[in-house]
Amino acid sequence: MRAVTRTPSDVDVVLPCLNEAEALPWVLERIPPGWRALVVDNGSTDGSAEIARACGATVVHEPRRGFGAACHAGLTAATAEVVCFCDADASLDPSLLVPFVREVRDGEADLVLGRRRPRGRGAWPAHARAGNLALARLLRRRTGLRLHDLGPLRAARREQLLALGLTDRRSGYPLQMVVRAADAGWRIAEHDVPYLPRTGASKVTGTWRGTWQAVRDMSRVLGEPPAHGGGTVR
């Protein structure tokens, strides 16, 4: 198993984590060389933090439960110029972030998002896909951006992300990032990425109840008054 570097890098990958012991080795092996993995432990009871450390990742502890709480703890702990986000459940390959980072560094986009394309049976349950589609339509209406997905694979510059003043600490965090980036006039790009069946049970969209909670959180974000400016999407 290749150890993830512990030395400072110019790219940090935030991996929100709640009981992902089985998936973490696969994910951390795919962190690009020279990048730093920040595994944000959100109260795991299966030894996820210890496994992450054994694989060479930096572990950040966030006791406040919530996907957004874990993501933001990782963002504030990051020190790299460019920060990426990726789920820790082995549904997405973090090596796919390499062209995303290149696009940000080259000044072609301010925020790069991965549009999930399911690979394999059960990769994306129908209820979760339906909820995502409905939210994407609402996002287009709210911002004018023709995005198709609110997926967790993404890259942007750390200082710009912090300047967005993100406040959601639940499931609405990824959407709030896009909405506020659009309001700030960011150039937003979207690219297809393969989406694999996750390892273990989903904490958010694995059930109708979890999906409904996520949709409710995100709907609240869409109700925020728009700021001045407007983003563009490619």
- Convert 50-63 into a string of H (helix), E (strand) and C (coil): HHHHHCCCEEEECC
DSSP secondary structure of 102-117: HHHHTTS-SEEEEEEE
- Measured CA to CA in angstroms, residue 126 lies from 57, 93, 122, 131, 132 at distances of 33, 22, 9, 9, 10
- Measured CA to CA in angstroms, residue 12 lies from 7, 37, 149, 229 at distances of 11, 6, 23, 28
CA-to-CA distance for 127 and 136, rounded, in angstroms?
14
CA-to-CA distance for 208 and 205, rounded, in angstroms?
7
CA-to-CA distance for 112 and 93, rounded, in angstroms?
15
What pLDDT sits at residue 2? 46
Q: Measuring CA to CA, which residue among 25, 18, 10, 73 is closest to residue 42?
A: 18
Note down pLDDT in tens along the chain; length 234 residues. Answer: 444 444 446 899 999 999 999 999 999 999 999 999 999 999 999 999 999 999 999 999 999 999 999 999 999 999 999 999 999 999 999 999 999 999 999 999 999 999 999 997 777 777 778 778 888 888 888 999 999 998 899 999 999 999 999 999 998 999 999 999 999 999 999 999 999 998 866 555 445 566 666 667 777 777 777 765 566 766
- Chain-centroid distance of CA 186 in Å reads 17
Q: Tell me if 11 sits within 8 A of 85, measured CB to CB.
A: no
CA-to-CA distance for 81 and 78, rounded, in angstroms?
9
The bridge status of strand 154-157 relative to strand 111-118 is antiparallel
Phi, then psi, of 193 in degrees rounded to 5:
-140, 145
